[in-house]
Structure 1
Amino acid sequence: MKPAFFCAATAALLLSGAAASARPYAPAAGNDDTILVKLPNQVSMTIVARDKKQLRELKEYKLDSLMIMLSGYISQAEAAGSKSSNGQVTMEFYPAKDKPSSQAAPEQVRVTVRGGQTKTDRVEVMMGKMGIKVESDQEIDTGKEHVSIKWNNDDDDDTKRDSLKQVRRQVKRDKLTGSDFGVDLGLNALVNRKPYLDPTSGQEQAFDLRPFGSRYISLNWNFWARAGKNSPLYFHLGPEVAFNNYMLEGNRRFVQTDQRTNIAAGGDVQYEKSKLATTNLNLPVGFTLKFRNEKHDEIMRIGAGGFVGYRIGAHTKVKYEQDGRTHKDKDRGSYNLEDFQYGVQGTLGIRGFDLFAKYNMNDLFKENRGPKAQVVSFGITFSDI
């Protein structure tokens, strides 16, 4: 609480306390008795009474109690002033009505608070990397004006970066078309599997993939178009290069013959790794709904669509120990894989975090020329959205 506000209100309190009659005091009379008290910080307190008798009656008032009461009134006035446009407010209180049992309670207290806010005018001019900032602050009470001129410097780098980031976000938010680059990192799994016929034993055998060894990676170039300026619906398409690893569970490997691809047991050789790797060029297409908050910041995304793709490469790789040496055998070939793939996909994103899932609707291998199974890929997307 500022001393000037407190002392000014004190004067008003003592003035009302000195009045003996119920009618408000009219300062027009010229023969009133007056006491002028000068306080620090160029603050003065004036006590006006009709006669000396009223001045002597001031001793009946307990100034400490009055000060406590006055402090509460000033706090209320300051709170009300902070909500006004210019910070100024006048409030009247009637302690005698609030406490009729008190003989010394003032009849009326008027508190006027003039806000101490400053009026600020700011101008910023930017020319390339150079800039000038002019700030003008004017105090309402004293009329004093403070002007500062500052050249743009490194101290404002953080502010500039935040401002530029906001501008980029606003520009991208209002764009109707654009493009993004993303990377999918995930895992592969085989579904709808059927047992294969073991060429050695002639019996049907089940097969599966190692969960964390069968990795999926794709590089995505995504071009999108918005349905309208304020529409949450986006249409997107774009090429992607996908790398799939299918690592077999157990001591087995993929073996290619002229007619089909089989899964064969390693026998005396123990495979540390045994996988089939493919490279596909895909074209995803779909729609995305983007939900925003009241500040128009994107908070969630839901996408769905499909894809078609073409296999551009495949090879197998096995790693094993034999005769005290580590062997890595890598063989390229078609392995009777389907050349074309097609399927559906979906995405779910919250702010900068996205999940994806892809389901290949056709089999991994050509019909009757390899194990029967379909591929599901799932994981996390990292992108510049």
Structure 2
Amino acid sequence: MKNLIKKVGMLTGLFVVAFAYSLIANPATVKQPRDSIIIDFDNNTKILIYVKDKSDLENLRSFDLNAMLRDVSLSIDSSKNVTYLKLEDDGGDKYLKDTTVVFDSDPDEDDFERSRSSDDHENKARIKLGNYRLEVDVDDIEDLEETFEDIEDDGLKVTSSTEEKRLRKTTHEFNVEIGVNNYLEDGDFPDGNANYSVKPWGSWYVGFSSIHKTAIGNGPFFLEWGGTLHWYNFKLDNEDIQIVKTENGTEYLEPPVGTTGIKSKLTASYLSAVLVPMLDFSRGTRKVKKYESGSISISKYKKQGVRIGVGGYAGYRLGSHTKYRFKQDGDKDRDKTSGNFNLNNFRYGVRGQIGYKGMDFFINYDLNELFNDDKGPAKLNAISFGFIL
């Protein structure tokens, strides 16, 4: 609970800035003398704005109040004893804004949201930070600090529910995929005695993906599409075996007398395009836990629902190499060789995904063979699976 209170305190600081701007943007809502505006936050904190008339007040909307407050904060931090600060701008354009601030453009995504109740005409403010949202009545701004101090004494009303979140047509995210590689021979994993069989643990698959999600209609259907840069690592189960390209193709050879293998693997990198139709059976549904005390409510959101989809991918090989670490006559050495090793330059296959809440699992299966025809140790189709982070 104490951690929650600290987070709310941070949100409150952000709210104060947003509220101050809202008063400037809507001068009709401010009760002030003709030549000044006083924004009184508590007994020790005031913002005083002098103006000649209403037209001067409208001109204030061209200035960035946030930038001014940041400069004040820097001035205070750099001075030990501050009793009076004055911001001066001889040119008159230091704090001009390049763009116009628009409130309520996207209530679910913007960091700041200001809304007005249509029933009682009371100003409200909402601030979103990560999975937390603070909502408070503007009229209670003077009592905000006192309310936070009394939360632990008065207690919080805690409720749990689910709600529908308005989603954008297309969203973007950057994913990291971590998993393991293997390959299938005639639908089965190679026999453990085969020279080309791999270690399930240590044959890592790593991918970096730029993925877009486009909703189709208002139902659960959407498309995931984008690009992935990824690496296959096939670590041989028998570390004595060395992978060598010969005139006959790529061979997996026993070591010469006096040589003992330590590690042997084949690595290949690909750039692939991905398209996966998905069904999200609770699209837009979020679990909400709300804490309420007086006019303040704090909401925490969590993803909900099952996602499942099947699609495909196609890619091109960027590079490949083998690495062979061994001990010969008591001395350790290694051999790293780059080349194509008769690997197919193109790859294409089927991809499946399933997710629940914040966790997603993937599986890729190459429909074409890993090696060119009759140039590998066997007819092998790569398979990889793991987690999307």
TM range (shorter): 0.5 to 0.7
- Which ranges of 4 or more aligned residues in structure 1 deviate by more than 4 Å? 120-123, 125-129, 151-156, 293-297
2:173 to 180, 195, 216: 180
Q: Is the 8 A contact 1:133 1:151 kept in 2?
A: no
Instruction: Please name the residue that 2:265 is paired with.
Output: 275
Shift of 1:259: 4.1
Cα-to-partner distance string for 1:24-59 (whole Å, 9 max, x where unaligned): xxxxxxxxxxxxxxxxxxxxxxxxxxxxxxxxxxxx
Classify the secondary structure of the residue corresponding to 1:134: helix
- 2:220 is equivalent to residue 213 of structure 1: no
Shift of 1:288: 0.6
Distance in 2 of aligned mates of 1:225 and 1:293 = 12
Letter of the 2:315 counterpart: G
Letter of the 2:204 counterpart: R
- 2:289 is equivalent to residue 300 of structure 1: no
Query: Aligned runs of 1:27-106 on 2, under 5 Å?
Result: none
Structure with larger RCO (C-alpha < 8 A, sep 6+): 2
Query: Aligned runs of 1:104-253 on 2, under 5 Å?
Result: 123-124=123-124, 133-135=138-140, 149-150=142-143, 173-192=166-185, 207-228=196-217, 230-250=218-238, 251-253=240-242
- 2:284 is equivalent to residue 291 of structure 1: no
Instruction: Return closer, same or farther for 1:347/1:205 CA change in 2, 3 Å cut-off.
Output: closer
Cα-to-partner distance string for 1:91-142 (whole Å, 9 max, x where unaligned): xxxxxxxxxxxxxxxxxxxxxxxxxxxxx9974458999x98424xxxxxxx
Distance in 1 of aligned mates of 2:145 and 2:126 = 8
Letter of the 2:203 counterpart: S
Percent of aligned positions with the same letter in both sequences?
Answer: 29
**Higher Cα radius of gyration:** 1
Shift of 1:174: 1.7
Instruction: Please name the residue that 1:310 is paired with.
Output: 316
Classify the secondary structure of the residue corresponding to 2:368: coil
Distance in 2 of aligned mates of 1:154 and 1:335 = 70
Letter of the 1:378 counterpart: F
What is the TM-score of this pair, normalised by structure 2? 0.53
Shift of 1:258: 3.5
- 5+ residue gaps, structure 2, are 1-119, 130-135, 150-162, 188-192, 287-302
Letter of the 1:381 counterpart: I
Distance in 1 of aligned mates of 2:237 and 2:371 = 18
Q: Is the 8 A contact 1:290 1:298 kept in 2?
A: no
Classify the secondary structure of the residue corresponding to 1:150: helix
Instruction: Please name the residue that 1:142 is paired with.
Output: none
Cα-to-partner distance string for 1:117-170 (whole Å, 9 max, x where unaligned): xxx9974458999x98424xxxxxxxxxxxx723679969xxxxxxxxxxxx97
Shift of 1:227: 0.6
Letter of the 1:134 counterpart: D
Instruction: Please name the residue that 1:341 is paired with.
Output: 347
Distance in 1 of aligned mates of 2:148 and 2:336 = 58
- 5+ residue gaps, structure 1, are 1-119, 136-147, 157-168, 195-203
Distance in 2 of aligned mates of 1:128 and 1:245 = 42
1:377 to 369, 379, 384: 384
Shift of 1:291: 1.5
Instruction: Return closer, same or farther for 1:155/1:255 CA change in 2, 3 Å cut-off.
Output: farther
Distance in 1 of aligned mates of 2:342 and 2:285 = 54
Instruction: Please name the residue that 1:358 is paired with.
Output: 364
Instruction: Return closer, same or farther for 1:206/1:151 CA change in 2, 3 Å cut-off.
Output: closer
Distance in 1 of aligned mates of 2:345 and 2:284 = 48
CA RMSD of aligned residues (A): 3.4
Shift of 1:236: 1.9
Aligned length: 228
Instruction: Please name the residue that 2:299 is paired with.
Output: none
Instruction: Return closer, same or farther for 1:126/1:361 CA change in 2, 3 Å cut-off.
Output: closer
